[in-house]
Chains A and B, each alone.
Chain A
């Protein structure tokens, strides 16, 4: 907001809010988000995605994991059957029901995205938390390490990690993508904790002789959670896209029967001239979900940013 910066009424409000501390900040942010249409749109997309992931087996009209002879019969190198009775979007390149596989893909995509993000956040927070809590040489060593990881382009890092495994499966993708977010979260948490360390309420607690463990867990960590949640939401978007990229490069799951959007997109690259829908629908699904996480993450960031307070 580029409004007048001289409204001291706003200044005072801000200080009051800061003084009120964590919980009301979160409530405040939630309230702000609830009135932000962008946040609502993002939340709706994600809710729909999660529901789809949970209920996909019930919703899918056919079994997504078995080939259908009537589809296979029409399958030739230059023809993949389009929509026909009972098969809403026709066949995929292996004679499976494309529509059911699309629905089923939600679950696998969610597993990969969430799995990678959770692992990445956990490891990153441990590293960043240690660095932030101890400082000194622990901090120097850990941060030097994460800086190096950050200096490798993320997809190349994921590729190097995925290449460590003799053959790809679901877990190699999850781990490779997770490792990419580790340095990001380590830096984020550490930065936030360092900022907390010199903040007045932590200084006050230190001066009062509160134990370091108590300070870290009661004062520093809770106040650093906001940025981590924001980043994690945004990471879910990139995790899904990165996983798709790995599949596209042949480093993904080698089990092509598994329905996952990235994998489906990756495996359909040679079929563009035959049936472009095989690439387009999974891609659109990925884009919508990634957009949903991005919208939600960005509006969360905005809501938590003290600059946007009123």
Chain B
């Protein structure tokens, strides 16, 4: 029984005097309790919008959301704003990309943790404060008793992200969504934060949706990976399968554009050419076709469907032949 089951989720942004823009297009995936699922793609692929739609954080005006998001047998999309507020922070937690701007600059870290404890766990201010210190200690903040009354600007980037994680996990949610949690951090800190996240979710049995553009992050963390392009899932695979035999040319391209130490010096990095701006509409054909080395006329004129492929799913007319990309991790 899946913890989260996203079915045919679509998000269309409508703005005055502008064409409606489909950010998420019929996306379906599910997350089992305790499982870690990756959503991978470039900026503009719709992965962040997907997560915000799950959390119910998209603006009410200007965004049309269809499909269903069942979470423990409740469709989150049908809940009232109030019911949703009762769930957010308690059953669903979220960690955002930029830890500085995601923390309120004018109130102490402590209050930002205790307010969620008071709200969902009915603690008194005093109890909540004790618990907040405890939580900050658990996410590895040195001297949590002092940090609890400090302001975000007094913490380093890594510490801020730890504090955000403490906030998101304060009520032991069943599902944590991490939206590019390491992108704004230094490389050394990135590894620490990832290690912390994976440790915490396995400790508490929390399921995790990891949103990232970095396949390196996926490699270390995720059980299953969904690769998104232009608002649709183009490939789904179990982690090892993905790295061993990426089938979609886009996934393949992502893997090939990671610099590697063990490659020979003469080997060139193979970037994916072009940018998302070159996309054609999914209704006309494969959105990736203009950038795809394998693209044929069929790709440009007939939209591919997401079909089972081995153990995973694939949306491609001309997938890469099953061959091990050189030196997959």
Chain A residues proximal to chain B, CB less than 8 Å: 2-4, 6-9, 11-12, 35, 310
Return 12 A-B CB contacts under 8 Å, by A number: A3-B15, A4-B52, A4-B58, A4-B62, A6-B48, A7-B23, A7-B49, A8-B43, A8-B44, A9-B21, A12-B277, A310-B18
Instruction: For residue B96, give the distance in angstroms from its CB to the closest CB of chain A.
Output: 10
- Contact across chains for A9 and B276 when beta carbons are under 8 A apart: yes
* Interface size grouping (class) on chain B: 10 to 19
With a cutoff of 8 Å between Cβ atoms, the chain A residues found around residue B23 in the complex are 7
> With an 8 A cutoff between CB atoms, is B13 at the interface?
yes
The interface centre, meaning the residue of A4, A11, A310 with most chain B CB atoms within 10 A of its CB, is A4
**Partner pick for A4 among B18, B44, B63, B277, CB 8 A cutoff:** B63
Q: CA separation between A188 and B87, bound complex, in Å?
A: 48
Q: CA separation between A217 and B44, bound complex, in Å?
A: 38
Q: CA separation between A4 and B21, bound complex, in Å?
A: 12
* Contact A12 B52, CB 8 Å, known A3-B15, A4-B59, A7-B21: no
Q: CA separation between A4 and B277, bound complex, in Å?
A: 19
Q: CA separation between A12 and B275, bound complex, in Å?
A: 10
**Partner pick for B13 among A4, A11, A35, CB 8 A cutoff:** A4
Q: Top 3 closest A-B pairs, CB basis?
A: A8-B43, A8-B44, A6-B48
With a cutoff of 8 Å between Cβ atoms, the chain B residues found around residue A4 in the complex are 13, 49, 52, 58-59, 62-63
With a cutoff of 8 Å between Cβ atoms, the chain A residues found around residue B15 in the complex are 3, 310
The majority secondary structure among interface residues of chain A is loop
- Contact across chains for A3 and B277 when beta carbons are under 8 A apart: no
Q: CA separation between A12 and B274, bound complex, in Å?
A: 13
B7-24 interface mask toward A, CB cutoff 8 Å, 1 = contact, 0 = none?
000000101011001010
Instruction: For residue B116, give the distance in angstroms from its CB to the closest CB of chain A.
Output: 23
Q: CA separation between A9 and B46, bound complex, in Å?
A: 10
Instruction: For residue A303, give the distance in angstroms from its CB to the closest CB of chain B.
Output: 14
With a cutoff of 8 Å between Cβ atoms, the chain B residues found around residue A11 in the complex are 43
Q: CA separation between A267 and B306, bound complex, in Å?
A: 80
Chain A minimum-CB-distance residue to B44: A8
